[in-house]
Amino acid sequence: QVQLVESGGGLVQPGGALRLSCTATGFNLTYYNIGWFRQAPGKEREGVARISNSGGDTYYADSVKGRFTISRDDLKRVVYLQMNSLKPEDTAVYYCAPDPPMLLDNGWTPKFAPDCRVVRDGSWGQGTQVTVSS
């Protein structure tokens, strides 16, 4: 199986924290930049954060800057999204995707720019639900 699987979501109170994981199976994550995206009900999917394949370059959307941190552990084949000071508006399903696009078991992944703008849609994973509510 060649997959990227998102996990770590849950229900958290405003001001709380969660750490999401994007885990690769069946391929080496080392060569890929990885982006995190989210989609709230009734809204378009938006880019949240991106990390380069070396880990030396990161991007954050203005809405999460200073609260979210993206990191990677290539030995474990995992990219993390540490989310602190969560707000109700962070409620969404969170997805990860590789750059450049690759063929996973569920199809070709989307193509996105360094600023996480999706330039060509593709197949997304199941995502992980994050709900921020009191």
pLDDT in tens, 104-118: 998 999 999 999 999
Quick one: pLDDT band at residue 19, thresholds 50, 70, 90? very high
> For residue 6, which amino acid is it?
E
Please give the pLDDT value at position 34. 97
Give residue 7's Cα distance to chain centre: 10
Q: What is the mean pLDDT of residues 115-133?
A: 96
Quick: pLDDT tens for 32-75: 999 999 999 999 999 999 999 999 999 999 999 999 999 999 99
In contact, 63 and 42? CB cutoff 8 Å: no
DSSP string, 65-121: TTTEEEEEETTTTEEEEEE-S--GGG-EEEEEEEES--EETTEEPPEE-TT--EEE-
Mean pLDDT across the chain, nearest whole number?
A: 96
What's the token pair of residue 28? 């080496």
